[in-house]
Chain A
Amino acid sequence: TQLLEQSPQFLSIQEGENLTVYCNSSSVFSSLQWYRQEPGEGPVLLVTVVTGGEVKKLKRLTFQFGDARKDSSLHITAAQPGDTGLYLCVYGGSQGNLIFGKGTKLSVKP
């Protein structure tokens, strides 16, 4: 069974700070996705990474897929209160469904 470990579980920072959250596994993935879930809503796709070493940028968010395709990170620059939410790392399960990590709950205080 492939398992995704996300860290930290919780993160509370002040507006303007930088942060990095991690998604790790002992298994190799063909691709990984990151979703963000805001309070009271369903998760929304942020990015899909498919190539080892790949770096994708989405405004202040930078996503990296590890060279060995076993891990990924999400870096947020100058965090804003609107970045508050649950960040979920996701991979495709053996049955062709999506398996979610438990997520990092981020709180950005003004």
Chain B
Amino acid sequence: DSGVTQTPKHLITATGQRVTLRCSPRSGDLSVYWYQQSLDQGLQFLIQYYNGEERAKGNILERFSAQQFPDLHSELNLSSLELGDSALYFCASSGGLAGGRWVSGELFFGEGSRLTVL
């Protein structure tokens, strides 16, 4: 058990719909990362938050957005869903980083949310 909790574990929805994925980081971790994992692209970094503020941005589509709340949990919102958005979405957390910048620290991953868009 990594201490990172993601909900829901599985989600099936239709094209054009909107979903929200939720992540609770390990107790005390200030950084939250979101990754998308598909068969052909591997683990793609989407976005990172540190103590409530956006810290780094990767290949995140404009249809996707995220935020980190004062209690440090995070949500990833996916809208106008397309078939190609079907993937595993992972949240990871870490703590003790210099201003949110990764310095050879460990990321702790949740079990992921499997999204299927039909």
Contact = CB atoms under 8 A, between A and B. Distances in A.
Interface residues of A, number: 23
A52 interface: no
Interface string A7-48: 000000000000000000000001101000000111111001
Interface string A43-74: 11100101000000000000000000000000
A11 B111 CA distance: 24
Interface in B64-111: 90, 92, 97, 100-104, 106-107, 109-111
Given A43-B109, A103-B42, A95 B103 contact: no
Given A42-B109, A93-B56, A98-B33, A48 B45 contact: no
Nearest to A49: B104
Nearest to A33: B104
A108 B2 CA distance: 25
Nearest to B114: A40
Contacts of A41: 109, 111-112
B18 interface: no
B56 A96 contact: yes
B43 A45 contact: no
Contacts of B106: 33, 45, 48
Nearest to B50: A96
A95 B56 contact: yes
Contacts of B56: 93, 95-97
Contacts of A45: 106-107
Given A44-B2, A96-B100, A102 B90 contact: no
Interface string B28-55: 0000010100000111010010000001
15 contacts: A42-B4, A42-B92, A42-B109, A42-B112, A88-B42, A93-B45, A96-B55, A96-B101, A97-B45, A97-B102, A98-B33, A98-B45, A98-B102, A100-B43, A103-B43
Interface of A: 30-31, 33, 40-45, 48, 50, 88, 92-93, 95-103
Interface of B: 2, 4, 33, 35, 41-43, 45, 48, 55-58, 90, 92, 97, 100-104, 106-107, 109-112
